[in-house]
């Protein structure tokens, strides 16, 4: 996959996520979280949209099947590892 530059923070990454609300392509650091409403769908919200209460409410209303949190402290950690 080609290296792309995040429009929000300028981070160069090969792993971009599209925000489902502002449609920007962002790096994982700028994506707050992602949900999978169904097996084929994937919905992500960026930190900018997360900070807007109206958008956050919309995101929270999406049925939660699978959620991935992208907190900076978890970045790069092996999947499924918990802090506690
Ligand atoms: Zn970024
Ligand atoms: Zn957004």
Length of the chain: 84
Q: 10 CA distance to ligand 1 centroid (A)?
A: 6
pTM of the predicted model as reported, rounded to 2 decimal places: 0.74
Q: What is the pLDDT of residues 24-58, one digit of tens each?
A: 999 999 999 999 888 888 899 999 999 999 999 99
Counting ligands in written order, the one closest to the CA of 46 is 2
Ligand that lies nearest to the alpha carbon of residue 75, given by its number in the listed order: 1
User: Which of 69, 75, 19, 25 lies closest to 42 in space, CA to CA?
Assistant: 19
Ligand that lies nearest to the alpha carbon of residue 48, given by its number in the listed order = 2
User: Quick one: pLDDT band at residue 82, thresholds 50, 70, 90?
Assistant: low
Closest listed ligand to the CA of 8: 1
Instruction: Give CA–CA dist 16/30, Å, rounded.
Output: 10
Q: Where are the domains of the chain?
A: 19-74
84 C-alpha vs ligand 2 centroid, how far in Å? 30
What does the alpha-carbon distance between residue 35 and residue 67 come to, in Å, rounded to a whole number? 5
Distance CA 15, CA 32 (A): 14
């Amino acid at each position: 996959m080609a290296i792309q530059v995040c429009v929000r923070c300028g981070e160069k990454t090969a792993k971009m996520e599209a925000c489902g609300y502002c449609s920007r392509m962002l790096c994982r650091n700028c994506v707050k979280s992602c949900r999978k409403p169904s097996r084929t769908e994937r919905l992500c919200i960026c930190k900018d949209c997360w900070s807007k209460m109206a958008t956050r409410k919309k995101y929270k209303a999406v049925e939660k099947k699978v959620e991935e949190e992208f907190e900076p402290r978890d970045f790069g950690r092996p999947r499924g590892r918990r802090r506690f």
